[in-house]
Structure 1
């Protein structure tokens, strides 16, 4: 199965680009972030007319996550409360629409849009750290069902210095501070691995280029869009790539899609994945 993640920075602004991407790449599931639209106004018809299945969790002008799938979506869960029911902190954090999950071939796909944090002195930075801590609790709760997991999305964190075009200047600042990195490593634990780094260890692989300062033209980017897999999926993974050319579109999102291909048997097949053996 081919799974993609993409911060589109407004689904209505980028609708034709999403259509083109689906046509060209043909993923089984496309996970979107920063859709910036209320659920009632999501452009469902254009996808449903092409037999896609949709689920979304959005709000006006900000945030928002969505799933666009070739097959019916199963056990869709919305927000932090999708796992942490009756948790006041999760309910508070869900006022910003940033998490949606589903089952695809028995794999739990969790699509997240982590807060940016603004600056190290901002209240939004403390909110980001709180949000990441709650995401850890969310994942701990999910782990009790022993589902294989694919955690993906816009994390707004460069986990390593090689994920930044100029670490000497930018490491330690927002999206690259040690508290952010520590919080991300903590929620990943020993369970989840960065699948892109299984296939590519070097630097100069970016998924986000700021609209300002000619970052795209100078290729001064960050790798902040990640796909993390649980160990039972790692050996079934065939590739993980950044679809960089999407950032070169006319009026593009500032992010490029990231894709992972996993050779995972369909639930309808008689083949069993290794972790059942």
Structure 2
């Protein structure tokens, strides 16, 4: 079973690239972020034509998450992150696929910081941790995957100095992420490649892709029940270099049956 995450940065604009990736790599589950469309605009029929069924949580113009599964319909468990009934941003979708609980996560960016957007980011992360703890305590196989908008370590960015003032690298952001890891979640990429130097995002500006000025913000967190079954993980870097690509690239983990 391959579980993948991909911040597609606009599903309508990137649909040809997304379908290419799905057909060429055939992940069992693909979690998408920043679909940037209302629910009625989601192109479910395009995915059904290549064998994928989907659920989605859309929002006009920004945010939005989805879960696609190869040959089966994801069973929706939770739409929206619990803990704040006033939060209407479409950033969390949780489903069960083939006996595994999987969440597609688009964590707030938090810029500019300090300010209300950064405060919202930290509050959202604490809500995520509380919900994740409940899932962890249930002792079921869980994957919390997506765009976390956190650079966990200095070795996860091409230049720590260049990103020092960004919300993605603030001590409070890193501490919140580290507390989740400390609760018992396994960061698949960091576990298998502890030396870092593997990016999942390259900005469109200043030739970041051409100069390999990237960083790692797309993460796959596994519960102990799933981490014990991990057989591999990786980053499909080449897809960032294709025409009209997202500024993120797919990240995946393989799980033994």
8 Å contact kept, 2:140–2:225: no
User: How far off is 1:198 after superposition?
Assistant: 2.1
Asked if 1:183 is matched to 2:184, the reply is no
User: How far off is 1:147 after superposition?
Assistant: 1.6
Rounded Cα–Cα distance in structure 1 between residues aligned with 2:49 and 2:77: 21
Rounded Cα–Cα distance in structure 1 between residues aligned with 2:228 and 2:180: 22
User: Who wins on radius of gyration, i.e. which is larger?
Assistant: 1
Asked if 1:149 is matched to 2:163, the reply is no
Matching residue within 194, 201, 225 for 1:232: 225
Rounded Cα–Cα distance in structure 2 between residues aligned with 1:210 and 1:239: 27
User: How far off is 1:203 after superposition?
Assistant: 2.9
Asked if 1:92 is matched to 2:114, the reply is no
RMSD (Å) for aligned C-alpha atoms: 1.4
Asked if 1:214 is matched to 2:195, the reply is no
Residues 129-157 of structure 1 deviation map (CA, whole Å, 9 limit, x = unaligned) = 11111111221233343222111100010
User: How far off is 1:51 after superposition?
Assistant: 3.0
8 Å contact kept, 1:247–1:255: yes
User: Which SS does the other structure have where 1:11 is aligned?
Assistant: coil
TM-score (norm 2): 0.95
Residue 11 of structure 2: aligned partner: 11
Q: In the comparison of the two structures, how many residue pairs are matched? A: 256
Q: Spell out the pairing of 1:1-277 with structure 2 (5 A cutoff).
A: 1-70=1-70, 71-81=72-82, 87=83, 89=84, 91-93=85-87, 95-171=88-164, 173-264=166-257
Rounded Cα–Cα distance in structure 2 between residues aligned with 1:259 and 1:144: 24
8 Å contact kept, 2:104–2:144: yes
Structure 2 gaps of 5+ residues are: none
- Name segments (4+ residues, structure 1) moved above 6 Å: none
Residue 268 of structure 1: aligned partner: none
Residues 20-41 of structure 1 deviation map (CA, whole Å, 9 limit, x = unaligned) = 0011000111100000000011
Rounded Cα–Cα distance in structure 2 between residues aligned with 1:138 and 1:232: 17
> Which has the larger displacement, 161-170 or 110-119?
161-170
8 Å contact kept, 1:209–1:215: yes
Structure 1 gaps of 5+ residues are: 82-86, 265-277
Rounded Cα–Cα distance in structure 2 between residues aligned with 1:61 and 1:106: 33
User: Which SS does the other structure have where 2:110 is aligned?
Assistant: coil
> Which has the larger displacement, 139-148 or 51-60?
139-148
TM-score (norm 1): 0.88
